[in-house]
Amino acid sequence: MDARMMTDTQRNFHTAEKCLLTPYNLTPMRLDGVFSQMLAHRVDYADLYFQYARSEGWSLEEGIVKSGSFNIEQGVGVRAVSGEKTAFAYSDEISLPALQSAAQATRAIAAQGGRGLAPLLRHGSRLPPLTALYAPQDPIAALADTEKVRLLERLEGHARAADPRVAEVMASLAATWEVVLVARSDGHMVADVRPLVRMSLSVIMVDHGRREMGSAGGGGRFDYAYFTDAVLQDYARKAVHQASTNLAAKPAPAGAMTVVLGPGWPGILLHEAIGHGLEGDFNRKGSSAFSGRVGERVAAKGVTVIDDGSIADRRGSLSVDDEGNPTQRTTLIEDGILVGYLQDTLNARLMGVAPTGNGRRESFAHLPLPRMTNTCMLNGRHDPQEIIKSVKQGLYAANFGGGQVDITSGKFVFSAAEAYLIENGRITAPVKGATLIGNGPEVLQHVSMIGNDMALDPGVGTCGKEGQSVPVGVGQPTLKIDGLTVGGSSI
């Protein structure tokens, strides 16, 4: 078939077949034989997850590109599910004997029974036609290494030109090109081709012996052409602004106060303090603060939270998840009412609901788990300036650094990388060392104003769960939260 006439589904499957099956003399019929081997025992479901990924990373420090790395990883994960039990084996060798050996290992979870032959594999059948959310180009091959180095050098130049107090610049560039193919025991095969790039910048500024750091960056599912001079200048401006702000900052006050969160990346607090608690496995096991609360009010009126893996080109997006299900926009909280959870196939089946396209894994060597993609709070009706003007005394958190959360209790601690006092309805002096301390479900109840300026983060998020890291996105509008505890220095 002429490549120009192929659908996205056919094009991705053709690439995956050429990369993952044909070189190893694997065919759908041979994969059927592997499933028949597993289904000779009583299992409810089985799948094969093939992956090929090549990645690179470049870093610049002290005006020199000090490291460059390139890595290729490939293999296949074999999973069998029986009830709540899961058996999993993987191999970094793609071959029929390796598949058969892994399939044999998974049979230990099931008693001898016999369920007949697996249905014949059909790529894309009975699944909705796949509309790729990103172009399948390989960013690593699309640009010469010398041009990648020049990108970092230009970024450094923009940062140093922005302010003479910039003493050190650290910049990095990374890309991955990943091809996955999922074959399932229900007879379906689906493939995805996933590009991902990211650029990061940190600057250290020195003024009268005081040193402060600022950072910026971004990326998504496209190639290096995204990083134009305008984008590089924006990263430099933001990193220098953050460091400059912290140079002028005084110690943050402490105590319970009104906090206003800025739009975009501050949604990481929503992701950590609330999003994880809405994942299906925690709720099926009853270990989340949101367990058993579907239909209840869990947030203030006006609070609507979604997870959407189907936004084009976003870092957290996937055309299909790592179980072969199309991603979608899933409403989790609607006008303050909890309406659902994020589901992979296993937890959805055990909870009697449909999967939401949130089965994700770090690689072929990991089991899929229900995970977030792009998690956002939707717009409210207030102008951001109206929100600021409503605060007599409080804190404006424009950017966040690290944080921790306890899924069971919902308690969290987050550090603000850039924050300011709000005094008499105006943003005034920058402050340093502010930490936000609270409980996710309680914070949702204390949201009193929601802005109309919802923004997504620039494409830098990585989420960890059970030792697995996956790229994610976050977003929110400006939010006013009453009575949040701020840790800092006492007034």
Residue with tokens 């094009």: 11
Torsion sign over Cα 126, 129, 133, 135: positive
Q: Is pLDDT at 193 greater than 90 in this prediction? A: yes
Which among 281, 487, 331, 300 has a CA at the least distance from the CA of 395? 487
Contacts (Cβ under 8 Å, ≥6 apart) of 95: 24, 26
Q: What is the pLDDT of residue 277?
A: 93
Residue with tokens 């650290």: 170
Q: What is the pLDDT of residue 137?
A: 93
State the pTM of this model.
0.93
**pLDDT confidence of 2, banded at 50, 70, 90?**
very low
Contacts (Cβ under 8 Å, ≥6 apart) of 19: 52, 179
CATH T-level fold of 8-247? PmbA/TldD fold (3.30.2290)
Contact 95, 24 (CB under 8 A): yes
Determine if residue 399 is left, alpha or beta; phi over 0 gives left, psi from -120 to 50 gives alpha, anything else beta: beta
Better-scored residue on pLDDT, 5 or 477: 477
| Domain boundaries defined on the chain | 8-247, 254-487
* DSSP-derived secondary structure letter, 20: I
Amino acid 272 reads: E
Q: Is pLDDT at 184 greater than 60 in this prediction? A: yes
pLDDT tens digits, 94-129: 999 999 999 988 877 765 444 545 566 665 554 556
> Helices 28-39 and 96-106: crossing angle, nearest 10°?
20
Q: What is the pLDDT of residue 119?
A: 64
pLDDT tens digits, 14-61: 999 999 999 999 998 999 999 988 887 778 889 999 999 999 999 999
Amino acid 281 reads: D
Q: What is the pLDDT of residue 491?
A: 41
Element (H, E) at 282: helix 280-284
Region 409-422 average pLDDT? 92
In 424-460, beta strands by DSSP E: 426-432, 435-439, 447-450, 455-456
* DSSP-derived secondary structure letter, 263: S
Element (H, E) at 242: helix 229-247
Residue 63's Cα: distance from chain center in Å?
31
Tokens of 221: 């599912």
Residues in the chain: 491
CA distance 385 to 29: 62
CA torsion angle 444 466 314 181 (round to 10): -140
Residue 316's Cα: distance from chain center in Å?
4
CA distance 6 to 374: 29
Q: Is pLDDT at 313 greater than 70 in this prediction? A: yes
CA distance 298 to 379: 18
* Residue 71 bridge partners (DSSP): 55
Residue with tokens 């000779």: 40
Better-scored residue on pLDDT, 133 or 409: 133
> Helices 229-247 and 145-162: crossing angle, nearest 10°?
40
Q: Is pLDDT at 174 greater than 70 in this prediction? A: yes
